[in-house]
Amino acid sequence: MILSVSRRTDIPNYYSEWFFNRIKEGFVYVRNPMNPHQVSRIDLSPEVVDCIVFWTKNPEPMMGRLDELDAYNYYFQFTLTGYGKDMECNVPHKKEKMIPIFRELSEKIGNNRVIWRYDPIIFTGKYTPEYHLKAFEQIAASLKGYTRKCVVSFVDVYAKNKKNMELLDSYELDKSGLLEFAKKISEIARENGMSAGSCAESMDLAECGIEHNCCIDKALIEEIIGCRLKATKDKNQRRECGCIESVEIGTYNTCKNGCRYCYANYSPDSVAKSCGAYNPESPILCGALDENDRITERKVKSLKERQISLFDL
């Protein structure tokens, strides 16, 4: 099993104590977002967790406790953009705070296990293509040697973030402009020792030097764990997504980063309400079980290939 921690919220930043408690206890409860009273109990033992994929804008709260994950394999998707607090209001200053944290994490666990995400890319009157290219170049130069890959994506509009996107007065580039922009991103990444990948983009950017990326990456996980995986594409993700199957343990409406483009929160009020229920001792994130909940044991297992193939000889 690959554990996703988390596409729905920033667990390393805001709920690391809860997460480490779950690792210690060896299980977690997760509500079905489409059927809230349907709860899955998920085994978190090292025997079934092949790799943990962390998604975060700030892993600092958990960095002093990484030794508690010695029994697990893991890597980080670390989002670091050029936006200011008008877009990412609760993310610390990038140059003064986040770039040093990125470097520190890379030094602790290796530059192959920290993926830099510059996403989503949104074009507005302030955040023009020229602005993004300048910011991307400055960050890439600061991270040279500290990561092997950068992932980019262009913002998607969902029901949850449609209103905010309209208020931002964002716009799209035409195809030729987008390809030119992507080519420059690829060149900057390459100049700083990084490969560039895209996240769930319908447009093929290969001609620009940007590969179709898998954020939950079978090849990378196999490299980290030193073993082949018997894993298929995640059917719960978008058609353009190349990620392999994983188990998500996050909860919507719990991320406090305050990003204007966020698709995982309904509103500030919904986040405040959910976060008010946070208890690091609870087996479920930002909530508690009640008498109407139906708990079922989710069948999970290791995806490691146990037999040696001809390719391994």
Q: What is the pLDDT of residue 270?
A: 94
- Cis check for the bond before 120: say yes or no (omega within 30 of 0): yes
State yes or no: pLDDT of 313 exceeds 60.
Answer: no
Question: Which phi-psi region, left, alpha or beta, contains residue 253 (left: φ > 0; alpha: ψ -120 to 50)?
Answer: left
Determine the average pLDDT of the residues in 75-104: 97
pTM to 2 decimals? Answer: 0.93
Q: What is the pLDDT of residue 240?
A: 67
Q: What is the pLDDT of residue 156?
A: 67
Look at the block and give the residue holding tokens 């980063």: 257
Summarised one tens digit per residue, pLDDT across range 180-229 is 999 999 999 999 999 999 886 667 788 888 888 888 999 999 999 999 99
State yes or no: pLDDT of 1 exceeds 70.
Answer: yes
Determine the average pLDDT of the residues in 108-112: 98
Q: What is the pLDDT of residue 307?
A: 60
Q: What is the pLDDT of residue 214?
A: 84
Q: What is the pLDDT of residue 191?
A: 98
**Residue 294: helix, strand or coil by DSSP?**
strand
Q: Which residues contact 11 (CB under 8 A, 6 or more apart)?
A: 5, 18, 19, 54, 55, 56, 249, 250, 285
SS3 content of the chain, % helix, strand, coil (to 5): 30, 20, 45
Count of other CB atoms within 10 angstroms of residue 65? 13
Look at strands 195-199 and 210-213 and give their pairing: parallel
Q: Which helix (H) or strand (E) holds 142?
A: helix 129-142
Percent of the chain surpassing pLDDT 90: 79
What average pLDDT does the chain have? 92
Summarised one tens digit per residue, pLDDT across range 245-265 is 999 999 999 999 999 998 889
